Amino acid sequence: MSENQQRESFGSKFGVIAAAAGSAVGLGNIWKFPYETGSNGGAAFLLIYIAFIFILGIPTMLVEFSIGRRGQADAATSFDNIVGKKTSWSIVGMMGILSSLLIMSFYSTVAGWTLEYMFKAFSIAKEGVDTAQYFGDFIADPGRSLLWQVVFMALTAFVILQGVAKGIEKFSKILMPALFVIIVIICVRSVMLDGASEGLKFLFYPDFSKLTFDSALSALGQAFFSLSLGMGALITYGSYIQKKENLLETAVQVSVADTVVAVLAGVMIFPAVFAFGVEPGAGPSLVYITLPKIFAQMAMGGLWAMAFFLLLTIAALTSMISLLEVVVLFFVDRFKMKRLSATLLSVVVVMVLGVPVTLSMGLLGDFTIFGKNLFDLFDFIASNILMPLGGLLMVLFVGWGPGTEFFSKEITNEGTLQMKSIIMIEGLLKYVVPFLIAIILVAGLI
Ligand code: TRP
């Protein structure tokens, strides 16, 4: 970018929050968090989850925002700009770019399924449909699942091509409130079902006896993943946050929004699951097999199914937008590419990785590496290795490395904001957060 050309930025405070919350609120909030909470002691789990959001999540989010806003560039180049020369710290950002590509390759597969389910809601959520059979046949059908994957990537690219304020921000400002309204409406319907209270009990009854070391570990990993930390998505968005915004306030608001949506997802799912007496579960089988069966038994089930899959589409789309922007901005800032060519190139790379992932559900199902199919392998490399490792290094950069100086200047807006909590945050970043992320990393490897 030339000297006199203004770097793009988010135009409003709400825009920043909508975009960053859009990144954080994803499939993880809807298909993973509720089940983890329910099966790990309900409110007891929720309490430690919230504690981890404050101790680990908000400080790490601040690290990412501040690196991006200080560095004024993509997730890798920002490190160089802060240090003042090319150093190996930028490899931390490049790991994030690699994990964005890996995550997109399977996120787009699953997001594509959501589109199929939204458009076919009325014929899937119907009595007499064997939803397990339907799902199995569908994901094994290469034509249809590839088509939806391509459509989803095209939607994401469409938003990215409009740029930061007119693309990412504008769409997030419409999509996130829409997501919130839809989830609240479905929640209201769900808690009105006969027998809903059992579900609320599963989710909220504080059973401290179920709270083990393993459940604390799940809460820790989930807090980290749910806030989209460790891969530069928030460095990328941070580089678009205006200098006058208060980063701490923003990080708190984004984290609260993400947690509220995760809890609402539980209020939406469990009353229905218990009212219809099915097994609560998590992941794709919950979303694509169990829930359609429940919708089929409800009045106007097709409509509820459609609303639910629209909700899921929005959650996935705003997360995909942030993932794609990580890679696109890298090509734009690092290699001086135009947004259009950077986007096309990124989409091609995602498809080269992503088509085999989609096919691994059917045609290539027997193809495994280290005993994992491509979907699980990419997920493992990104979520269990690159993200925690990247997060750990970012935090060390600020806590102990060359980023120590700039951090307090950046979050106090050069000393103009009074911030008593800064000493505490810096203490956490030095002595507590690296230790917690290291635990996530070790636990994810074994
Ligand atoms: N937070 C997302 C979710 O809850 C998943 C995710 C992890 C993500 N890292 C990301 C999304 C980076 C966008 C960018 O589903």
- Residue 387 CA: nearest ligand 1 atom is 9
Distance 285 CA to ligand 1 centre (A): 20
Confidence band for 177, pLDDT divided at 50, 70 and 90: very high
Distance 168 CA to ligand 1 centre (A): 16
Probe target for ligand 1 pocket from 225, 378, 383, with the most ligand atoms within 8 Å of CB: 225
Tens digit of pLDDT for each residue in 350-379?
999 999 999 988 777 667 787 788 999 999
Q: Is 219 helix (H, G, I), strand (E, B) or coil?
A: helix
The span from the first CA to the last CA of the chain, in angstroms, equals 44
Confidence band for 193, pLDDT divided at 50, 70 and 90: very high
Distance 385 CA to ligand 1 centre (A): 15
Percent with pLDDT over 70 in the chain: 98
Picking from 99, 89, 433, 84, the residue whose alpha carbon sits closest to that of residue 233 is 99
The sign one gets for the Cα dihedral 216, 312, 307, 357 is negative
Could you give the CA distance from residue 177 to residue 106 in angstroms, rounded to a whole number? 26
pLDDT at 26: 97
Distance 81 CA to ligand 1 centre (A): 26
pLDDT at 28: 94
> For ligand 1, which residues put their CB under 6 angstroms from it?
23-24, 26-29, 225-226, 228, 231, 233, 319, 322-323
- Residue 33 CA: nearest ligand 1 atom is 4
Distance 246 CA to ligand 1 centre (A): 23
44: left (phi over 0), alpha (psi -120 to 50) or beta: alpha
Picking from 170, 171, 157, 169, the residue whose alpha carbon sits closest to that of residue 328 is 157
User: How many angstroms from the chain centroid is the CA of residue 38?
Assistant: 20
- Residue 225 CA: nearest ligand 1 atom is 7
Distance 228 CA to ligand 1 centre (A): 4
Tens digit of pLDDT for each residue in 274-320?
999 998 888 888 999 999 999 999 999 999 999 999 999 999 999 99
Could you give the CA distance from residue 415 to residue 394 in angstroms, rounded to a whole number? 23
Residue 166 contacts by C-beta under 8 Å, 6 or more apart in sequence?
Answer: none
Confidence band for 5, pLDDT divided at 50, 70 and 90: low
pLDDT at 330: 98
Distance 57 CA to ligand 1 centre (A): 13
- Residue 229 CA: nearest ligand 1 atom is 9
Tens digit of pLDDT for each residue in 98-128?
999 999 999 999 999 999 999 999 999 999 9
